[in-house]
Amino acid sequence: MSEPTRPHSRKFLPPLLRFLVPAAIMAIVLTGCTAAPEAPVQTTQSAEKYRAGLEDFSRRMLDLGAPAVLIETRINGDVWSHAGGVRSLGSPAPAEASNSTHIASVTKSMVAVSVLKLVEEGHVQLQDPVTKHLPEFDSLVNPRGAVTVAHLLRHESGIPSYEEELFSSRPIRQALTQKLSLGESLALSKAMPWVRTPGSGADYSNSNYLVLGLMLERLHGRPVAEILRNDVFEPLGMKDTHLTGTGPPPSTMIHGQVEVDGERLDSAYLGAIVGNPAGGVVSTVGDLNTFYASLMEGRLLKPATIQQMQLAPFGFYGMGLLRWKDVCGGFYYGHDGDWAGYRTTVITSADGKRQVAIAITYPPESWDPSAYNPDNPLGPDALYRAARTALDLSC
């Protein structure tokens, strides 16, 4: 059977906004319908090959103008890291693999864990209507039918992505720098057309995870940043991971930049991403591998919950997880995401023993507000292909 077609993508969706839409959704998404090639055997030679391949990828990115490239692999007990470039354009400080970066939509996997913890504790049911926990939901988004918690987790609600209206209704600089509340951001979705009814298919939308963020805050009585810290970051010792706040970025953070109105704008901690449960977490490639390994190993959720999380009724997206066919058997899981000046991809095997995390900053002038281009050599698909190739060599 051929690979599934690309999910619906609306006309206004600049690559800048794919903290927004993961590359893997837009590119090669493999389901169980595709026969896996014969699995390679793990050898010292294969380890040398995947490391050499990732180093080649880093050189290509730097040659194309990417200011920084960060990589960490954890494969069958062997940990390898790499960094190239500088922490910030115009600064001599070299990038280090331990530097923190915006991880954009990878945030969604973490938010999904917090929601599913409430499910395990009996406070929430996956089939609960969202209005049970968030009575103002209907007035915020004008849904086209009953939306459940599971619909939100799997992008099956049909709610339009709020950022399309955000970035088309005001100057780009204002849209990037202005901090809006979750409710204010969600209200923007009412100006966008709905493309499907709840449960009729998967249509990736950041609005789903804004709603989940509001629901978490209502049920816990605390900000999302504190919930994620208590549920995920502190239990796993992810000391370099946090949801963005209003203060200055960490001193060790790599700085992305974008060109807006002919001027360069430092995109670390921009107002639009502060506190955003759809894409606002800052982390390191090491912490990201720790998170996904711990998730797959059952340190965050029960095995039955993880199995539910991994199910993808419409082929590509589970509950906060993307999945791809693993040539070694089963599926890879993870997420990727884009934010202004930043790209990140994390892929892990189902047992958590084979992982690749890649983060880059990209040239400020490379931002193109046109439609998604899978052939962009600096695009998110490039990260996905590099990570996937490394893992396919590491069975």
Confidence of residue 272 (pLDDT cuts 50, 70, 90): very high
Q: Are 241 and 286 in contact (CB under 8 A)?
A: no
Convert the pLDDT of each residue in 360-393 to its tens digit: 999 998 765 544 666 778 888 899 999 999 999 9
Q: What whole-number percentage of the chain has pLDDT above 90?
A: 78
With b meaning 16 or more CB within 10 Å and e meaning fewer, what string describes 378-388?
bbbbbbbebbb
CATH topology of domain 15-392: Beta-lactamase (3.40.710)
Nearest to 354 by CA among 328, 336, 322: 328
**Residue 298 pLDDT more than 50?**
yes
Question: What is the predicted pLDDT for the residue at 66?
Answer: 96
pLDDT digits (tens, 9 = 90+) for 99-121: 999 999 999 999 999 999 999 99
Distance, in Å, from the CA atom of 145 to the CA atom of 148, rounded to the nearest integer, reads 10
The residue extents of the domains of the chain are 15-392
> Which helix (H) or strand (E) covers residue 259, if one does?
strand 257-260
Q: What pLDDT was estimated at residue 9?
A: 33
Q: Computed from CA positions of residues 186, 101, 247, 366, in that sequence, does the dihedral angle turn out positive or negative? A: negative
Residue-wise pLDDT tens digits, 16-60: 444 554 544 444 444 333 334 444 445 577 788 999 999 999 999
How many of the other CB atoms lie within 10 Å of CB of 206? 31
Closest by CA position to 382, among listed 49, 67, 58, 3: 58
d(C-alpha 215, C-alpha 124), whole Å = 10
DSSP string, 148-160: BHHHHHTT-S-PP
C-alpha distance from residue 152 to each of 1, 110, 111 (Å): 29, 14, 11
CA distance 343 to 106: 10
| Amino acid occupying residue 261 | D
